[in-house]
Structure 1
Amino acid sequence: RRFVFGAAVLVHVSETAHGGEGVKAEPSMKLNSKSWHLQNECYVCSKHNPCLIYLCVFVCLQFVQLRSSRSQTKNFAKAVVNTADTIYLEQLNTRIVLVSMETWSTKNLMPVVEDPLITLQNFMKYRKDNIREQSDVVHLFSGRTFHSSRSGTAYTGGVCSPTKGAFSSFFHLLLTGDCRCPDAWLGCIMEDTGFYLPRKFSRCSVDEYIQFLLQGGGSCLFNKPNKLLDPPECGNGFVELGEECDCGACCKKCTLTHDAMCSNGLCCRSCKLRGAVCREAVNDCDIPETCTGDSSQCPHNVHKLDGYMCDTNQGRCYGGRCRTRDGQCRALWGYNSADRFCYEKLNAEGTEKGNCGPGPEGQGWLQCNKPDVLCGFLFCANVTMKPKFGDLQGEVTSFTLYHQNKYLDCRGGHALLEDGSDLGYVEDGTPCGPNMMCLEKRCLPVAAFNLSVCQGSNFAHICSDHGTCSNEVKCICDRDYTGKDCSVFDPIPEPTVQTGPEKKGPVLLSVLHVSLFLSASHIPLIVPSSLEPFSVKSNL
């Protein structure tokens, strides 16, 4: 790949050096006239504006190829991220924020081998054990040619996963790339093979990204970085130490103008704070966020705790998504799940047509125990020629059963991701019986998942029956209830309608004052936890 230098977006870099002395970050790259709007207009990580918090690592060989120059390596990283940021902003309405950079100047701190998948696995282990900076994804610049026709390697859907949020080589974020590209000359970004300066996502890649967000797969992208590692700088789009604001009509030189309470953010309107829902729920397992009344920013993005019922009690929430066999079949193959009898009959046999996974050392297939048949191979009523995600291994299996005077189609296939996981089996968290959920191809009681419990909750009553328990194990209270366990009834009075002669004066400000007071008193503040990746809420 080659990159365009001088791309015009503001990016911040700080560097940790291994095997050499540290280098202070250089001043941020200047914006040219084409991107001046990025500085004048506020872009807030929010419901409609995802932000990808990005960290990059340069291995020793790549450092040498850049003339062993820290400043040149740093400028290269800025140029790469600036180019990607421009493309992602224009086509996906997503910003890429570079918060840290690590350079291995004398030796590699992990094995970098010819097999890109093994290198990716090594990189994930290195990230887990050694990288502490907050980031949504990390990017390894290897400087070498791998034994693969692909220009990059990444785990599909890994952007908000602590174990899969890494990629190597180039901008391979979270889409499958299985899509016809409209530009045969330049190619498209998600194609498997390299083209000279591709600048476009195909329409289906954009649609997959939007669907990924709508299904709750990238909630981390709606949280802004806790801090930047560069020294604070006015005008970089982030409110940092010593600043009251950074952009917006109510902000001048990072100080709020006279009588302004805020300058930008989903919870700021006309320079005043407001109490309102600032981030709607995107699915049954999501929780809407409400302005606290004392901040211009929407609270931290959360979803329901694992185990909640969803989809009219047909599914269970797990990892912020509603898990059902019907939903998994539709997402993977485009059709609903097959009849229950397909699972009971075929998964109990332990053959290629139905099983609970490969046998020891990959030989043969495991029979499902009778209680586990709904957690084994995924059967759908029909399937497409190939899965929407992953690579089809072998052929699509199709079997017809005659049961209770009707013919049942039982179809499925093995859809493998690059990390070896097989989407052709029922997902963890999928219901498999009353108060039962699948886990690693076994049907277990919900109690076996050791799910956390919010204050004021037990098996029958959650958050005193007046709230929702979030994945941060905090109660999000319903309207008119407050307290850590939502047990305090404290109704918010409805606004009164004035009668009699119209009074002069700042009526709007009075109403705002009441709204702010009530909002701050009755809506709990969700305190952000450290962002160990991941996950995304809302449509673009």
Structure 2
Amino acid sequence: SCCVMLMAESVFGVGSMNPWHRPFYRPLSVRVALTGLEIWSDQDKIRVDKSPSDTLNRFLEWRTRELLPRLRHDNAQLIMGESFDGTTVGMASQSSMCSKDRSGGVNVDHLVSVLGVASTIAHELGHNLGMNHDTADRRCQCQNEPRLGGCIMEPSTGFMPGQLFSSCSARDLSLSLLHGGGMCLFNVPQPEKLLGGPRCGNLYVEKGEECDCGLLDECNDPCCNATTCKLVPGAQCSSDGICCDNCKLRTGGWMCRQPLGECDLPEHCTGASPYCPPNVFLQNGEPCEEGASYCYSGVCASFNTQCQMLWGPNSTRAPSVCFSSVNKQGNKYGNCGQMPNGTYIPCPSKDVHCGRLQCQGGNDRPLLGTSAEILTTKVKFNYSDFVCRGTYFHLGDDVSDPAMVAQGTACGLGKACWNQRCQDVSLFGVDDCQSKCNGHGVCNSNKNCHCDVGWAPPDCRSTGHGGSVDSGPARAPRGTSPFLLLEAETGGVGRHCGPIQRYPRTGPNRQDITPPTLPKHSPHTTRGISSTTNLPS
């Protein structure tokens, strides 16, 4: 039989309700909450075999098709009693935490110890969060001796499993969040959805509680009584919420979460809750970069940005002739994915911009890892010579290759990359926000209108404070607070400082431009596989 664990994660919290996660994720300020448990006692819902990659792909397809529609969660981990070929005990998709189709992993319960299984799950979850293996060339600092298990993200584990994250893991997580890899992690899971029942001291405010600051010896919240999980006299809220200041609720309209980029949206305190509203962002397929690109999972990254992440700040996108020349070859240096048997797929002409990323300039070596193979191609086009640079990564036994063109990248007029194919952007189900929001807002990831300042949700038809039903009012009602956000009165989503963010209403208009998303994971199902944890042979 198999077991499916459903989890919701949040960043900037501390601790976890799950005892086996407490020592693991607490130092990284990540909370992991168990929101569901499904036991396959009658029959397996997917075919489980000796191939970890095939089993992972089938599980993730089942999760997308069957599980997500009925149970909301951020991540799912399959725990199975059967073993894989070789010494592999776990596998997951790299940097895929907030993706609909890749956020999950498969884990073998090898019956050595509960701690061993917990460490494996923490390892695979780490890959989902963007952590790479702690290899010797990275010179990671681990505060745990090898004889005591070392650190969680090491490529293989001994009989004593790792129980701490290294300095490299903390750095990887920070970079992943900085580049939009955690767009779903800025909300606190609903307490009534957690398994295990309410318990004072687990850091979640559950039924019958007014606050929860952890156990008595770890609580440092002056607004909360750790023994009773009740607010102290005179307090309106506990200080664990960003919309609580000195035990008093902040006025509605205070910006509690700034946009992380062009495709993200700000959230504001509501005036009724100490917590910032759950994170929302522009709907997938919304134009960005002045109409030259598309938003996907809250990120808009141009080809230049992707190249700079690989080759450094002086790298730029290579001409289209480079993509065509390299990606039609159908080898590991240029392809549009792999067949189940591992054979590389040559890119058809229409899909060449969705294969392996081609760049110019930059550093001599890629910034990621030391195991990259570099392919330099010289091509001649219209009497000009071009030098294209691509790379193939082998970051671990099955860590995904970050040098493939990102999901959601524009590949032509009204087209975007999806599963390494150039497809119509209508695939993302883009709502017509001009009419839906009456020309005064944009559609967010929940398909609701985020109104410009001066217009009221839900449809931006009447005057109001802006924002959305999901993210709070964009500014405080007049006269309720001396603090005003700096926002343009002419529309657009404002920020505390810097230029006003404007959202283009037209799509990509140049055939040779292909932007957004930083490669979170290889879009193709077989190459989006990340980590393997190995037992000693």
TM-score range, shorter chain: 0.5 to 0.7
Partner in structure 2 of residue 211 of structure 1:
175
Q: The residue matched to 1:482 in structure 2 has which SS?
A: coil
Check if 1:401 corresponds to 2:379: yes
1:201 to 140, 165, 189: 165
1:443 to 1:390, Cα distance in 2 relative to 1, 3 A: farther
What corresponds to 2:441 in structure 1? 467
Larger Rg: 1
CA contact (8 A) 1:338 1:408 kept: no
Q: Tell whether 2:239 aligns with 1:267.
A: no
- Is residue 155 from structure 1 mapped to residue 93 from structure 2 by the alignment? yes
2:480 aligns with 514
Q: Select which of 187, 205, 227 maps to 1:239.
A: 205
Change (3 A) 1:483 1:219: closer
Task: Supply the AA of the counterpart residue of 2:26.
Answer: L
Is contact 1:150–1:192 with CA below 8 Å preserved after alignment? no
Does the C-alpha gap of structure 1 residues 477 and 47 become closer, same or farther in structure 2, counting only changes over 3 Å? Answer: farther
CA contact (8 A) 1:332 1:389 kept: no
Equivalent residue number for residue 286 of structure 2 = 308
Seen in structure 2, the aligned counterparts of structure 1 residues 296 and 321 have a Cα distance that, compared at 3 Å, is same
Contact preservation (8 Å) 2:360, 2:387 = yes
In structure 1, what is the Cα distance between the partners aligned to 2:384 and 2:82?
58
Residues 295 and 445 of structure 1: CA distance in aligned 2, closer, same or farther (over 3 Å): same
Counterparts in 2 of 1:151 and 1:444: CA distance versus 1, 3 Å: closer
The aligned residue for residue 188 of structure 1 is: 151
CA contact (8 A) 1:357 1:376 kept: yes
Task: Give the 3 Å change call, closer, same or farther, for CA 345–134 of structure 1 in structure 2.
Answer: closer
Is the CA contact (8 Å cut-off) linking 2:183 and 2:297 kept in structure 1? no
**What TM-score do the two structures reach when normalised by structure 1?**
0.65
Assess if the C-alpha contact under 8 Å between 2:187 and 2:276 holds in 1. Answer: no
Equivalence for 1:476: 450
Say what the alpha-carbon RMSD is for the aligned residues.
Answer: 4.3
Counterpart for residue 86 of structure 1: 23
Structure 2 residue identity aligned to 1:339: A
C-alpha displacement of 1:486? 2.1
Hey, what's the Cα distance between the residues in 1 that align with 2:294 and 2:326? 22
Which digits, 9 at most, give the CA deviation of each residue in 1:158-208, with x for residues without a partner? 322343332314122222216434458353321211133434433332222
Which secondary structure does the structure 2 equivalent of 1:219 belong to?
Answer: coil
**Cα-to-partner distance string for 1:295-320 (whole Å, 9 max, x where unaligned):** 22111111111233445655321121
Q: Residues 310 and 367 of structure 1: is their aligned pair in 2 closer, same or farther, counting only changes over 3 Å?
A: closer
Alpha-carbon distance change, 376 to 51 in structure 1, aligned in 2, over 3 angstroms: farther
Paired position in structure 2 for 1:342 = 321
Shift in CA distance, 311/178, structure 1 to aligned 2, threshold 3 Å: farther
1:485 match: 459
AA of the residue aligned to 1:432: C
Corresponding residue to 1:388 among 359, 365, 368? 368
Q: What is the CA–CA distance in structure 2 between the aligned matches of 1:363 and 1:254, rounded to whole Å?
A: 58
The equivalent position to 1:176 in structure 2, one of 123, 132, 142, is 132
For the structure 1 residues 255 and 453, does the alpha-carbon distance in structure 2 shift closer, same or farther, using more than 3 Å as the test?
farther
Structure 1 residue aligned with 2:406, among 407, 416, 427?
A: 427
Q: Displacement of 1:426 after TM fit?
A: 2.3
SS, match of residue 118 in structure 1: helix
Alpha carbons of structure 1 residues 337 and 150: separation in structure 2 relative to 1, 3 Å: farther
Contact 2:11 2:31 in 1 (8 A): no
The one-letter code of the counterpart of 1:218 is G
Write the letter of the residue equivalent to 1:48: F
Q: Does 1:116 align with 2:52?
A: yes
Cα shift at 1:410: 0.8
User: Post-superposition shift, 1:290?
Assistant: 0.3
Q: Where does the alignment leave 5 or more consecutive residues of structure 2 unmatched? A: 109-119, 214-220, 467-476, 486-519, 521-537
**AA paired with 1:272?**
K
User: For residues 376 and 355 of structure 1, what CA distance do their matches in structure 2 show?
Assistant: 5
CA distance in 1, matches of 2:345, 2:418: 18
* Secondary structure at 2:185 match in 1: helix
Any idea what SS the aligned residue of 2:177 has? helix
Instruction: Name 1:61's counterpart in structure 2.
Output: none
Conserved? CA contact 2:327–2:347, under 8 Å: yes
CA contact (8 A) 2:15 2:30 kept: yes
Q: Does 1:282 align with 2:260?
A: yes
What is the distance in 1 between the residues matched to 2:271 and 2:16?
27
User: Within 1, Cα distance between the matches of 2:161 and 2:330?
Assistant: 47
Aligned length: 426
Distance 1:141 1:518 in 2: 50
The answer to whether the Cα contact below 8 Å between 1:316 and 1:430 also exists between their aligned partners in 2 is yes
User: CA-to-partner distance for each residue in 1:49-98, whole Å, 9 max, x for gaps?
Assistant: 38889xxxxxxxxxxxxxxxxxxxxxxxxxxx5343223211x1112223
TM-superposed CA distance for 1:365, in Å, is 5.3
- Whichever structure has more helix as a proportion of its residues is 1
Instruction: Look up the SS of the partner of 1:400 in the other structure.
Output: strand
Give the fraction of aligned pairs with identical amino acids, expressed as a percent: 34
The 1-side partners of 2:324 and 2:96 are apart by 34
